[in-house]
Chain A
């Protein structure tokens, strides 16, 4: 049972346009959501996060939107740049699940290609 789903395995966007990456989750206990960016043969790097008490969080070109009723979140990248080309993972966790540890549940990732 996949609790975090990224239904688009890949996405191609023209440089300068908006990239929208989507993520759905099924576990209503999740209360903290994160996006990670991963290059080949490297570990994921944290991009942006959002708590379930918010519906939007913005950091520079990156904005994450959370729709709790739909159990859906999205990452917007504006404007997209060629260096944004990578695999993006959505992750979720239950923050009160003991000792404050980040037991992250990841989606399968979406490969973003930004075309110059």
Chain B
């Protein structure tokens, strides 16, 4: 069965510090991978998606970047965090046109102080 791992679960970082959130998927090959963010009082917003190694599409211009160094690994990064980067970050995966849509990890609660 497929599983998705996302870490860390919570993170408190000072403004201006770097960020690296990692997500890995097991049990499937060539998944589509996604990073979403849920900010306070808002819905889930798609930040990045990837359909293959090294292929990243950005939905919202911002202070963040994503990379996919391996088929089942997706990394969300920032060189310098802003206060507005605080939120709940979710990694998700899907395979081509599965009826269940995208499957989400447990999320990372990021607080920038």
Residues of A within 8 A of B (CB): 4, 6, 32, 34, 36, 41-46, 49, 89, 91, 93, 95, 98-109
- A107 in contact with B43 (CB, 8 Å): yes
A99 CA / B51 CA spacing, docked (Å)? 7
Which of B46, B90, B96, B107 is within 8 Å of A105, CB to CB?
A: B46
Interface of A: prevailing SS: loop
B: contact size bracket: 20 to 34
A105 CA / B101 CA spacing, docked (Å)? 12
B12 within 8 Å of A (CB atoms): no
A34 CA / B96 CA spacing, docked (Å)? 16
- B51 in contact with A41 (CB, 8 Å): no
- B43 in contact with A109 (CB, 8 Å): yes
Contacts of A43 in B (CB 8 A): 6, 90, 92, 104-107
B78 within 8 Å of A (CB atoms): no
A16 CA / B27 CA spacing, docked (Å)? 38
A6 CA / B42 CA spacing, docked (Å)? 11
